[in-house]
Chains A and B, each alone.
Chain A
Amino acid sequence: MSAQRLVEQFESLEKQDHAARLAMWMFLGSETLLFGALFAVYAYYRGMYPDEFVQALHHNSVALGTTNTVVLITSSFTVALGVHFIRENKARLTAGLFVVSTLFGAVFLVVKGIEYAHHIHENALPSGMYTFIDKPPAGVVLGYTLYWFMTALHGLHVIAGMIMLAVVAVLCLKGRYGAHRNVAVENVGLYWHLVDVVWIFLWPLFYLTD
């Protein structure tokens, strides 16, 4: 079984797994820089308009944001447990934990959706559509546009992560992965943790602005 999955260009399975893992870390590094550009935009405008920027973001609900932080951290924990158990060959347990994590992801999206619905109702929308405050001072609209763009981009990553988690969970149940074959499980886990890490930074920047 394990000899079969060694592709011809690699010398050993250990190297092949190392290659897959390294590639995933590099992809995550690249993804982080994608958000890094947006963090630079955030920092630039927050430095330029310290008061107006915070004023705009103060509107966000701290309770919902913090709920989502706890939800994502917990989902990250269940994913980490799942990766831990696949190494001990407990594929069914891993599948169960990944399903739970996917559901946590869904909870996250529902909470985010409630927030978005609230904002739409109040016309706290990005760029030209922002009419929450009449004649907003410079910087307010930028803050809100960034909020929408960064959280929506993060939301897309959550959806992508959920799809991957669900697929790996199904494959675990089918007996595809075990103690000696789990790099894919690990890599999907890594992706989900990245989604968590990005949110760990988005949360204080967009919700804890007092």
Chain B
Amino acid sequence: MSQATIDADSKPDPLGVGADHPDYLRADSGLRSWLLTKDHKRIALMFYVGVILFLGLGGTFALVLRTELLTPEQTFIDASTYNQMFTLHGITMVWLFMIPAIPTVFGNFVLPIMLGAKDLAFPRINLASFYVYVLSAIILLGAMLAGGADTGWTFYVPYSTTSPTAVTWMGIGIFVNGISSIMTSVNFIVTTHTMRAKGLSWHRMPLFVWASYATSIIILFATPVLGMSLVLLALDHAFGLSLFNPRYGGDPVLFQHLFWFYSHPAVYIMILPSFGVISEVVCSFSHNQPASYRAIAYSSLGIAFIGFFTWGHHMFVAGLSEFDAGVFGALSMFVAIFSAIKVFTWVATLRGGSISFATPMLYFLWFLFLFVFGGMTGVAVATQSLDVHWHDTYFVVAHFHFIMVGGTLTSFLAAAHYWFPKMFGRLYDERVGLLTSVAVFIGFVFTFLPQFLLGNGGMPRRYFTYPERYQWLNVLSTGGAWLLGAGLLLALGNLLIALKWGKRAGPNPWGSRSFEWITASPPSKHNFEETPEIERSAYDYTLSEEVARERAKAR
């Protein structure tokens, strides 16, 4: 295959670039070729397996929680197990699923291809990142077996320093996990700076790259602060370092400052890659260029930046000063402006496009609903006077699940379906895909919408028992959770079946113009044998009518 030129007019290669080379799945064989691979696509698949396992584990914890809350009194686990369950659910979902999910799986897989590169800048660091992730998972699982944790995922002092559970090892595990994220993010930023193909200027890059870039900046600068606060906590728990101990004049509120300096931007670490996925999906399936490329690209950077200075809204009732609370409340609302810019741009992108309703597009609609709903309640919670009423109730639980699960999980699923043909060269069953997507959405809404009502009605979070008048809402929520779990399992089953029996996908089944679709499906080991020359943007749908007509014939 000679050097490929990607411009506006050329007919795409019918088999995709690199189709005359063995694809990355078959290029080498044997366990060793997987475990010691430096190929970003194989590393992405190994992350995929890990991330899905932990989604399953975290989901199981969640189902145990919800089932326990079916009845007002004890249902089937005791109170201290319940405390363990919600803590482990949080830790597993946040650090082992949501933070690594989209960057390490889909970012790793498509980011170099989108840039026309053969691999990430540092393949060895990429592999090391995977093993550091595995190490952190082993430490965390070990800590779960050796006593677990009952502090909630936020590890607030002073309780966490005296808790009899394995808090020290949880802290160490999360610290190690942070090293893995930092490695991946350094790799992404350096790759974006140095490895763009000839002709691929910053404003021609796919929007997913911008989102990954913004995410990586947050990871790079916020993770060390969390690492340090957890080291201080672990040393306190193990040796009594006592930096936050009131006995010596220490202030427990300071721990919250340090914790949320990371953990609030962590929300954007989870949601920004989702924005990237959604931008790709909405353009590919409406066969239209984004209504404003720059609005989406720059608002990612804006969120990454402003997101750093909103952490105080978690601490309105913790003893934060009035001045700080005011500053943080106002800054928090700024984030809504950038998010709204994105939402409006996505919706405007649909206008005039030729829309096809495949599963990823349906997930985009669910995302839009859940994200807007969750985001608007976020603005409400950022208002101090309202937050005093809602703080530590189920309202907050529902709010952040709408954003984090509604945002991250739906876009994770959108990405899983959207890039499935590229990753494995097969098509999944579209009808089953659409059905599972509906099940996930209905399950989700039934799980978390009642929780807004519960919280507003005054039910505190993290409580083991509750008054009987809350029961009907809790039953609805538990039923929804089971449906959500079933929907996820069915979606997974659909993709697993397609892995073996799916129809062969061409290089570009969706008619997308983004660069990863130029390669063969699945791509060859080096993606492009020669670095391609790129002469158009990733959203050049000037031929949209023809493409649409061709697609109509193919389907």
Which residues of A line the B interface, CB within 8 A?
Answer: 8-11, 15-16, 18-19, 22-23, 26-27, 29-31, 33-34, 36-38, 40-41, 44-45, 48-49, 52, 126-128, 136-142, 145-146, 149
Give which listed residue, B189, B193, B194, B221, contacts A10 with CB less than 8 A.
B194
Which residues of B line the A interface, CB within 8 A?
Answer: 112, 117-123, 182, 186-187, 189-191, 193-195, 220-225, 227-229, 232, 240-243, 245, 248-251, 254, 257-258, 261, 526, 531
State the Cβ distance, B121 to closest chain A Cβ, in Å. 5
Nearest 6 A-B pairs (CB), nearest first? A138-B249, A37-B228, A34-B224, A141-B248, A33-B224, A9-B119
Given contacts A19-B194, A27-B186, contact A145 B243 (CB under 8 A): yes
Beyond A18-B193, A30-B182, A34-B225, 10 additional pairs, beta carbon < 8 A: A9-B120, A19-B194, A22-B194, A27-B182, A30-B220, A33-B222, A41-B232, A45-B249, A128-B242, A142-B250
State the Cβ distance, A54 to closest chain B Cβ, in Å. 14
20 A/B residue pairs, CB under 8 Å, sorted by A:
A11-B195, A16-B194, A18-B193, A19-B190, A19-B191, A23-B186, A27-B186, A29-B220, A33-B225, A34-B228, A37-B225, A37-B229, A40-B257, A44-B251, A45-B250, A52-B249, A127-B241, A141-B242, A141-B248, A149-B241
Contact: A36 with B225, CB < 8 Å?
Answer: yes
Contact: B220 with A9, CB < 8 Å?
Answer: no
Contact: A26 with B220, CB < 8 Å?
Answer: yes
State A98–B182 Cα separation when bound (angstroms): 29
State A28–B243 Cα separation when bound (angstroms): 26
Contact: A8 with B258, CB < 8 Å?
Answer: no
State A34–B254 Cα separation when bound (angstroms): 16
Contact: B249 with A49, CB < 8 Å?
Answer: yes
Give which listed residue, A19, A27, A33, A149, contacts B121 with CB less than 8 A.
A19
Given contacts A9-B117, A26-B186, A40-B258, contact A145 B224 (CB under 8 A): no
Within 8 Å CB of B187, what residues of A?
23
State A30–B219 Cα separation when bound (angstroms): 9
Contact: A41 with B227, CB < 8 Å?
Answer: no
State A139–B359 Cα separation when bound (angstroms): 59
Closest residue on chain B to residue A44 by CB atoms: B254
Among B112, B117, B120, B225: residue with most chain A CB under 10 A: B225
Contact: B189 with A26, CB < 8 Å?
Answer: yes
Contact: B526 with A23, CB < 8 Å?
Answer: no
Contact: B243 with A33, CB < 8 Å?
Answer: no
Contact: B243 with A11, CB < 8 Å?
Answer: no
Within 8 Å CB of B240, what residues of A?
127-128
Within 8 Å CB of A11, what residues of B?
195, 531
Contact: B193 with A37, CB < 8 Å?
Answer: no
State A11–B196 Cα separation when bound (angstroms): 10
Within 8 Å CB of A128, what residues of B?
240, 242
Within 8 Å CB of A27, what residues of B?
182, 186
Give which listed residue, A22, A41, A52, contacts B190 with CB less than 8 A.
A22
Within 8 Å CB of B229, what residues of A?
37
State A126–B250 Cα separation when bound (angstroms): 13
Within 8 Å CB of B117, what residues of A?
9
Give which listed residue, B241, B249, B254, contacts A139 with CB less than 8 A.
B249
Within 8 Å CB of B121, what residues of A?
9-10, 19, 23
State the Cβ distance, B40 to closest chain A Cβ, in Å. 9
